[in-house]
Structure 1
C-alpha cells in the first residue's frame, strides 16, 4: 500500500456493486505481505448486500430474469486476488439444500427445496444470498481492516476542508465521514419524470385519479389498485410481469395445469389489467436451455478474434457498418442450420443449401452484389417462404396487421404467446429461438467491442442505442416461458386485455379518466381511473433525483457524457463521463476527479449492459470476457484505492 499509513474509503451503495467493491478491497488487503491499515465505510439506507432492489423480505412472486446457475458477486478469474469467502449463487443454493443456515425462513427453505440450477429464483432469495455473502466476508476480515455500515443516505461528497483526507461525505442527519477515496456504487437511482409523466401525474392529482410512476416494483403498494376495475398498464417488459403477478396470484388467484394448457382461477379480487406497449406484445420468453447460451450455436463471424483483428488493423468499427452485419450473419446461420437439423423436410437438398449459404455469408467482397443479396439468392433456390426468417419482424409480431375489435386483438396476442412458449419449450430444436440465441451470444461479444469508445459516438447513438438495444432486449431478455403461458391464461380468463401497437395515452378531463387507444384496433378508447407505468426508473444521470449525484453535478465534480451524432450535434448520454481504468469521473472543467470512482449503472455511456449481474463460469459452456467485467472493474478500483 502506497497512499498513506492508514487508508479510509467510503463505498456509497451497498447493493451487489457495493458488495463487489467491498469484497475486492478485502481480497487485496488480505493479499498484502506487510501490515495493513484500512477502514471502509459502507453507506446505504438499505442493508448491505441486497441494497434497495434485492431485499429478502419482498414478495416471492418477483423472479430474477436469470437462472440459478448465472449470477455471482464472487469473481472466478484466477488472475485476480483470491476471494476470502463466498461463492456463486448456484453453489450457495446447493450448499443450503444440503446444510441450510439456521436463520433461513420457512419461505426461503421451501423455495430452496424446489429450486434447481436451471430454475429462476426469486429476487428475495438472491437478496438472502447477498446478505450471507457479506456476513461471510465480515467473518474473514484481514488484520488491520475495519468495516462500518451506515444505514442512511449519503447526501454529498466534497473536497475536505482540512486537507487531512480527500473527501468529506455528508450523511442524512448531519453527520459526515472522512475518506481518502469514494466509490460511487449507486445502483438504480430515482429519476425525475419526463414531461408526459409529469402531466399525467398532475392530472391524476387534480382529478382524483391513481397514477403510479416508474418505480422498483417492491416499493409499490399494489393493494391500493381497486378490484374489479380496469387499470391501464404501460410497458410489457420485465416490470410488467411483476405487476401482473401482484395483481393476480398476489391477490389469491391460482394457475392450474389443465392438460394441454394452463388455466387461471380468479379470486375475484383482481382488477382488469389492460396492457400496452409499443409493439403491442410482451418480450419473447427465454428458451429452455441447459446453460445461459445455447450449446448448438457458435458464433462464426462476430467473435472476439474478429475484434482483435479490428484492433490490429487500427480500425474503430461502426456498429451498423461493421459489427451488426457480422452478427446478422451469425443469426441467419443459427436459424437455417437449426432448421435443417430439426426440420429435415423444410429443405430438400440440405448439404447443398448449407454449402451455398456458407459461401454467401462469408465476409468477403462479392463482385457485383452485397452479401444480403447473395443470401436471398440462395434462399430463393432452397427454402420456401413459410420457412424464411424475418429477423427484424420477430421483435414486432403484430407489425402490418390491424384488428377490427379488441377481442380479435386479444386472440392474436394469445396465439403469439402460446406459439412463443411452445418454441421456448423446444429449446435448441427451434430455429427461431436459436436465431435469438445467436443474438444473445453476440450481445456478450458486443459488450466488449463497444466499451470505452470501442465504436464511434454516432454508431453508439444511432445504431447500438438507437435501434439495436430495444430490438435485442425484446428478443433475448424476456421472462421464463411460464410467464407467457400465464399471461395467455389470464387473457383467456378475461383478467387481461391489450391495447394494441403504438398506443397513445391521455387524460379525458371531462370524464375524469385516463384513456388509451391504438390506431390499429377498431375499438373505442379504453378508460380507467388507475394507470401504472410498468417501467424501471430511467437511470439517466442528467435527470436523476439523487441528492448526492445532484450535488456532484452542481459542484462540477462529475458531468454527463456528451456524444456527437452523425449530424455533429451533441447528444447527452445516459451515464457519467469517465476516464478508464479504473473508472474515474471527468469533472465539468475536463479534469479527472482523483480519488472518486464509479462502478455499475452510471457507466452506461462507457459500457453497454452494465445492469446485469456478473456471470458465473459454467463448466463446458462458453465464457465471454464481458461476463465478469463488473467484478474486474471492482478489482481495478480496489487496487487504485490501496495504492498499487
Structure 2
C-alpha cells in the first residue's frame, strides 16, 4: 500500500462490470494498518448486481446467448488475487439445485431444476446469480472497507484540484449499505502519492460526491436515433402509428402491439428472437413437439402477423450442440497465439485482411473438410486419408505468409471432393445471395427450409462440416481478440477489415441463438404467424395510406426463375406498427448519456479517431484511452488520471467488448482473451489501491 490513510472511489455502473470492479477491489485490499480505509460508492439507477440488462424480474422468455457453463464475474485465474466470495454461474447453479436459497422465487427454482450445464439460461436467472454474488461479497467485506449504493444516475464527473473530503455518502438502494461511508480525507488513485486531484461526481437526485477516483463501467447505454429513425418516429407521431425504436427488450411495453395486425420487425439478430418470443409464447401461444420430433405452433389468437426483415433476409445461424463452449473436434492450426506472436517478433504490425484473415480462413477450410472426410466419407472421391494429406500439403507450407494458398488448395479440392460438397465460407452468412423470388410464398418456403436445415446441422454438432467451419471461426475470434487489442493491428485494417466486413460476417455465423429458436421460427412460418420481407429491404412511410412500408428488390409479385434479378420486384408490405429489433448503437458519440455528454463537451474524454487507407480520419465507436489500466484521453491528448474505463466504451481498443467474461472450461484451450474483462477490472483495482 503506500502512505495513504484512506481511499475513496466511485464505480459508475452496477451491472456485471461494475460488480467485477467491486469484487477486485475487495480481493486486492491489503491495508498495512488499522487506520487505512477504503470506501466505495456504487452508482446506478438500477439494482446493483444485475444492473439494467440482467433484471431478475424480466420475462423468462429472454434467453442468454451462452450456455450455463460459460459465464462468470468471479475470476478463476490463480495469478490474480483470490476472490473473497463468489462462484461461476455454473457452480452457483449446481449449489442452488442442491441447496436452494430461501430467497429464490418459485419460477427461479423451477428453472434451476430443469437447467443443465449445456442449457441456455434465462437472463432473469443470470441476474439472480449476479445479485446473489454481490450479496455474498457484501457479507464478507474485509476490515476497513465500506460500500454505499446510490440508486441514481451519474450526470457529471469533474476533476477537482482539492483533495478528497469526507461526506457525500448517498442513500442506500434496495441492497443493504455496508458501512457508514464516513471516512478520513486522503489521496486519490495510485495511493501513496500524497494529496492529489480528485473528482466531483454529480447525481440526478442532487447528491454530490467527492472521490479520489472514478471507474466508468457504464455498460449498455441508450443511444440517440439515426436520421432515418428520427423520420420514422416523427411520421409515427404525425400519422398515429406505432414505432418502437432500438431498446433493451425488457424495457419495451409489448402490449402496445395489436393482435391480428401486421407488424414490421427490422433486424433478425439476437433481439429479433426476443421480439418473436414476446409476441407468440408471451401471448399464450404454445410450441408442441410432434411424433417426428418436429415443432408445431398452436396460436392463441392474440399474435400479430410478424413481417421480419434484415439485410441478409435470414436470421443469424444457430449454435451447434456442443459439450463445451468451443468444439473439441476443432483446433486451430494457422491462427494460433504462437503465429500471432511471430508478427511481433519480426517487427510486423499486422493488418487484418492481409495477415490475419488468411490464417483464420485456412483454419475454417481445414475444419470443414476434415469433418467432411470423417463424417461423410462418401463425399470424397478418393480415400479420406489421401485427401486430407494432399490438402495439408497444399495449405501448410504457407501457414505464416500471405501467398495465395487457394491456388494450391483449389486443384486438390477439384480432384478429391465431389461436386455439391465444396465449401463457400463467405456464402454461409448470406444463404439467399444470388437468388430472387417470384412471390412471398416462395421466399417464406426458402427461409423455412434454411431454418430447418440449420437446426438439423446444429443437432449434428461436431459431425456437421458447416458447423465445424463456424466452430473454427469461433475459436479464431478468441485469438483475434488478443491479436487486435491495444493497437495490435493497423488502423486502416481495423476500420475496413475487422469492423468493416468481418465483424458482421462472423456474428451472423457464430453469435446466433440456441438451435431451438430456428425450429420455433420455422414452426411460426408454417403457422402463418411470421412472414419475411426479403434481402436488402427498403423501409418508407406511405403518408397517403398512413402506413409503414417495406419491400425487397429480390421479392416480387411476378414469376421468377430463382436467379438474381429475374423476379418482377415490387410487392410492398404495409403495417401500422414497426419495431426496431436492434440494440441501441454502441457509439460514445451518439449515446444518450448525460454523463458521457458532459465529459465529451468539457473535453475530459474524446472518441478515438482512426485513419483510413486514404488518410481520412474516422471517428470510431469507443473512447480514446491510455493503455493499462485504461484511462481516457482528454481532448488535448492528456491522460485523465484517476478516471478509468471498463467494458463497452473500450470498443475502439478492444474487439468484442459485449462478450462477458468466460469461465475456464473443464477441457479444451484456454485463451488469454477469455477473462479479459476480469483482468481489466483487476488492473483498475490495483491501480486505485496503489498496488
Equivalent residue, structure 1, for 2:504: 470
SS at 1:474's partner residue? helix
Residue among 429, 451, 459 paired with 1:425: 459
Matched, 1:480 2:514: yes
Partner of 1:170: 202
Question: TM-score of the superposition, structure 2-length normalised?
Answer: 0.92
Q: Give 1:257's aligned residue.
A: 289
Alignment-derived partner of residue 572 in structure 1:
619
Residue equivalent to 2:28? 28
Q: Find the partner of 1:455 among 482, 489, 492.
A: 489
Distance 1:4 1:157 in 2: 23
* Residues 1:364 and 2:398 aligned together: yes
Aligned pair partner of 1:416 in 450, 466, 486? 450
Q: Using the alignment, how far apart are the partners of 2:455 and 2:588 within structure 1?
A: 37
For 1:58 and 1:604, the matched residues in 2 are separated by 27
Compare 340-349 and 575-584 and name the one that shifted more: 340-349
Kept in 1: contact 2:355–2:401 (CA 8 A): no
Runs of 4+ displaced beyond 6 Å: 365-369
Q: Displacement of 1:282 after TM fit?
A: 0.1
Distance apart, 1:345 and its partner CA: 1.1
Distance 2:82 2:128 in 1: 23
SS of the equivalent of 1:543 reads: coil
Separation in 2, partners of 1:34, 1:6: 11
Matched, 1:538 2:591: no
Paired positions, count: 643
Partners of 1:365 and 1:413 lie apart in 2 by: 37
Residue segments in structure 2 that go unaligned for 5+ positions in a row: 165-196, 558-570
- Deviation at residue 362 of structure 1 after TM alignment: 1.6
For 1:161 and 1:141, the matched residues in 2 are separated by 31
The alpha-carbon deviation at position 636 of structure 1 amounts to 0.2
Please tell me whether the aligned partners of residues 11 and 184 of structure 1 are also in contact (alpha carbons under 8 angstroms). yes
Query: Could you tell me which residue of structure 2 aligns to residue 388 of structure 1?
Result: 422
Q: Distance in 2 between matches of 1:320 and 1:509?
A: 45
Whether contact under 8 Å (2:47, 2:151) holds in the other structure is yes
Q: How does 1:285-364 map to 2 (within 5 A)?
A: 285-347=318-380, 348-364=382-398
Deviation at 1:104, TM superposition (A): 0.3
State which drifts further: 362-371 or 451-460. Answer: 362-371
Do residues 192 (structure 1) and 257 (structure 2) align? no
Partner of 2:274: 242
In structure 1, list runs of 5 or more residues that go unmatched: none
SS of residue matched to 2:482? helix
d(CA) in 2 for partners of 1:82, 1:368: 44
1:528 correspondence with 2:575: yes
SS at match of 2:420: helix
> Retained in 2: the 8 A contact 1:3–1:642?
no
Tell me, in whole angstroms, the C-alpha distance in 2 between the residues paired with 1:378 and 1:366. Answer: 20
Q: Which residue pairs with 1:225 in the alignment?
A: 257
**Contact preservation (8 Å) 1:97, 1:113:** yes
CA contact (8 A) 1:560 1:576 kept: yes
C-alpha change, 1:619 and 1:34, in structure 2 (3 Å) is: farther
Residue 621 of structure 1 and its aligned partner are, at CA, apart by: 2.0
Give runs of aligned pairs for residues 65-76 of structure 1, distance below 5 A.
65-76=65-76
> Which residue of 2 is the match for residue 373 of structure 1?
407
1:204 matched to 2:236? The reply is yes
Deviation digits for residues 54-98 of structure 1 (CA, Å, limit 9, x no counterpart) = 000000000000000000000000000000000000000000000
**Equivalent residues of 1:3, 1:643 under 8 A apart:** no
Give the drift of 1:33. 4.8
Distance, in Å, in 1 between the alignment partners of 2:661 and 2:57 is 23
* Structure 1 residues 251-275: Cα deviation after superposition (integer angstroms, max 9, x where no partner): 0000000122100000000000000
CA distance in structure 2 between the partners assigned to 1:374 and 1:166 by the alignment: 62
Matches within 5 A, 1:133-144: 133-144=133-144
Q: Distance in 2 between matches of 1:247 and 1:368?
A: 49
CA distance in 2, matches of 1:366, 1:199: 50
Contact 2:374–2:384 (Cα < 8 Å) also in 1: no
CA separation of 1:178 and 1:365: change in aligned 2, threshold 3 A: closer
Alignment of 1:25-174 (within 5 A): 25-29=25-29, 31-35=30-34, 36-160=36-160, 162-164=162-164, 166-174=198-206
Distance 1:367 1:33 in 2: 53
Give the Å deviation of 1:385: 2.1
Displacement of 1:369: 7.4
- Is 304-313 or 432-441 further displaced after alignment? 304-313
Q: Residue 189 of structure 2 aligns with which residue?
A: none
- CA-based RMSD of the aligned residues comes to 1.3
Cα displacement string for residues 528-578 of structure 1 (whole angstroms, at most 9, x for unaligned residues): 000000000001001110000000001100000000001000001000000
Cα shift at 1:161: 5.9
Could you give the per-residue CA deviations for residues 337-385 of structure 1, whole angstroms, max 9, x where no partner exists? 0000001111132122111110111253999972111111110111122
| Structure 2 SS opposite 1:506 | strand
Pick which of 362-371 and 124-133 moved more: 362-371
Matched with 1:631 is: 678
Which is worse superposed, 139-148 or 303-312?
303-312
Kindly state the Cα deviation for residue 610 of structure 1 after the two structures are TM-superposed. 1.0
Structure 1 position 32, deviation (Å): 4.4
Partner Cα distance (1:324, 1:612) in 2: 21
* Alignment-derived partner of residue 689 in structure 2: 642
Quote the Cα distance in structure 1 between the aligned partners of 2:536 and 2:269. Answer: 15
